[in-house]
Structure 1
């Protein structure tokens, strides 16, 4: 990690990176530059689904299948988010997520369309599919966000089954963490010496963006949050404008990594605002990452923050602080590719 002085020097020397080569080659040719803008989806103006991290490929497949079956964009992003939520091998989303410091698994989720429809839940317990509860908040309440006990009670009232989310594997990891942990509000402080950038303890979210053939958009974001967080902690994921933002005629963005750093700058809304002002998705993602680095300096040493964006013309952008952020793209043909985002800093 650079010192603050070298960090600022690096920022000053970096220009906007534009990728015009077909996105299928973007990962293998990370140095490609020209004037054509950000990666473009094969199939041009057709439907497309993006999601954060390599496990997003399965989520994309489910979302795309829903679209092909005639489902709406909201149906698609909900179906996609439900895949990792139900996966017992994924400890950063939904069922089998790592618990908070007190041993409770709590979930955050948001769903949004480009007409301003929003629903979110935070600190939801004993419910596998937080994204579906978030959609019910959007469609069946006058509110946009329900939290804690109220969110859990709403889930029961809406017929979502009660189920413990703490699996034996996650409980074992928590008990091992307790042996050396100190109860203090610092993100995964006890794991920092062994944490791998881009690894299981370095991200805590899946964000999805979907675009229909006519340019409409929707998005979703769902997580079990930071491993071993303080009870009651809520990160960026369920907060509109931080973990997710979608706007008609412009595009959408989602984030991943340490949520506290995203919420400081309303990161996803900032990406979309830059796109509205004329930036490509790639330029917009790079701008907010550089801004976080300049704003926070040494405070973000060893921290991963990344953004993924899609505009209404099918252009894609992705950028992060540290290497390791991957994302999955399913294009109009239904083919899915997992790509590596460029990063501001080296490992």
Structure 2
């Protein structure tokens, strides 16, 4: 009789525990993709080429940290990309200023913001992480450090970006179009006053089971001088916790900063959310805080957990992300969205 009572008691406790799980946690079993290792994922269509560069390192047993640095350098070097690196559009005073951050499996991180004249800010960010006691260097100090480390100083304002900036100066209107980074959305360069900013965020899990991430951008096209968004801010544009997973963001950085978005996504995964469910919850926080603004802007999150499962969610349709693993190296997926 006593054993029967104990059995019934345990059964009741189990039923109560299951019914008490939040709906979002229940989604964790249905909203995850993948479970592959090694794997690299990144934001937007241009993430496909970036992933392939990262994959060359991962497939030979290289580290996730080396992979994400090499991967995003591809986007930084792409002169046809007006949202990242040397091809990026300038601020409203005609200065191309770049932001980037990087984070490894041990919680080490480095960042640069408002960096001018250096084509690969991600590599400067890594040097900040590895060669200084600091996390972030900005502006003239970041440039001084880069030059001391042997980086080449160059003019980042390429002719096409200068032309777009001069066109924008005629009316000085800031009217960004969402998802312009997605080449399948629009393959033609638009007049300068219609070009949005954006980011490449990349997350990788290597064969040893270690995570790293990188994020780099030229920021908002024709932004105010000195403006910095979420991309170089650890916890906003990027966060890595090697016990749990990693996340990165894309879109209007001000709203990501207000919710400490990438850190939020990782903490939700710690609570048991799948990558996709965690990204959705982070996007919904933005909607809750700024419902009217949320309808007019784009923000997307991308996440990868320790198992190699990945997911994304965005405010608006049009967000794409690239996936690369042993089975296929050129996958492009559409992110789910709220509106």
Bin for the TM-score computed over the shorter chain: 0.7 to 0.9
Indicate whether 1:86 and 2:77 are aligned: yes
TM alignment of 1:194-213, pairs within 5 A: 195=177, 197-200=178-181, 201-213=195-207
Q: Does 1:39 align with 2:32?
A: yes
Correspondences of 1:1-347 after superposition (within 5 Å): 16=24, 36-41=29-34, 44-181=35-172, 190-192=174-176, 195=177, 197-200=178-181, 201-345=195-339
In the TM superposition, residue 212 of structure 1 has moved relative to its aligned partner by 1.4
Deviation at 1:155, TM superposition (A): 0.6
Pairwise CA distance, 1:289: 0.4
Post-superposition CA distance 1:28-78 (Å, at most 9, x none) = xxxxxx87333322xx44200000001000000000102234432111000
Provide the rounded CA distance (Å) in 2 between the counterparts of 1:248 and 1:35: 19
Give secondary structure in 2 for the equivalent of 1:150: helix
Residue 259 of structure 2 aligns to a residue in which SS? Answer: coil
Question: Is the CA contact (8 Å cut-off) linking 2:122 and 2:215 kept in structure 1?
Answer: yes
Structure 1 CA distance for aligned equivalents of residues 319 and 138 of structure 2: 29
Displacement of 1:165 in angstroms is 0.6
Question: In 1, are the aligned partners of 2:67 and 2:204 still within 8 Å (CA)?
Answer: yes
Could you tell me how far 1:16 is from its partner in structure 2?
5.0
**Size of the alignment, in residue pairs?**
304
Q: d(CA) in 2 for partners of 1:119 and 1:277?
A: 27
The normalised TM-score by structure 1 is 0.84
Aligned 8 A contact 1:203 1:304 in 2 = no
Q: Residues of 1 paired with 2:306 and 2:209: CA distance?
A: 5
Q: Secondary structure, in 3 states, of the residue corresponding to 1:269?
A: helix
Partner-residue secondary structure (3-state), 1:105: coil
Contact 2:255 2:286 in 1 (8 A): yes
Aligned residues of 1:56 and 1:327 also touching (Cα < 8 A): yes
Instruction: Mark the runs of 5 or more structure 2 residues left unpaired by the alignment.
Output: 1-22, 182-194
Residue 236 of structure 2 aligns to a residue whose secondary structure is coil
- What does the per-residue CA deviation read over 1:263-294, in whole Å, with 9 as the maximum and x for residues that have no partner? 00100000000000111111100001011001
Aligned-residue Cα RMSD (Å) equals: 1.6
TM-score (norm 2): 0.86
User: Following the alignment from structure 1 to structure 2, what is the Cα–Cα distance between the partners of residues 334 and 78?
Assistant: 21
Change (3 A) 1:100 1:46: same
**Cα separation, 2, equivalents of 1:230 and 1:211:** 36
Q: Distance in 1 between matches of 2:205 and 2:60?
A: 15
Q: Which of these two proteins has the greater Rg computed from alpha carbons? A: 2
CA drift of 1:335 comes to 2.4
Q: Could you tell me how far apart the structure 1 residues matched to 2:37 and 2:305 are?
A: 13
Query: What displacement does 1:297 show?
Result: 1.4
User: What is the rounded CA distance, in whole Å, between the counterparts of 1:230 and 1:203 in structure 2?
Assistant: 13
Contact 1:304 1:320 in 2 (8 A): yes
Distance in 2 of aligned mates of 1:59 and 1:37: 29
Conserved? CA contact 1:49–1:63, under 8 Å: yes
Structure 2 Cα separation of the partners of residues 172 and 202 of structure 1: 16
Aligned counterparts of 2:261 and 2:309: Cα–Cα separation in 1: 19
Measured in 2, the distance between the counterparts of 1:35 and 1:93 equals 33
Shift, 1:317, TM fit: 1.2
List alignment gaps of at least 5 residues for structure 1: 1-14, 19-33, 183-189
If each structure's helix is expressed as a fraction of its own residues, which one has the higher value?
2
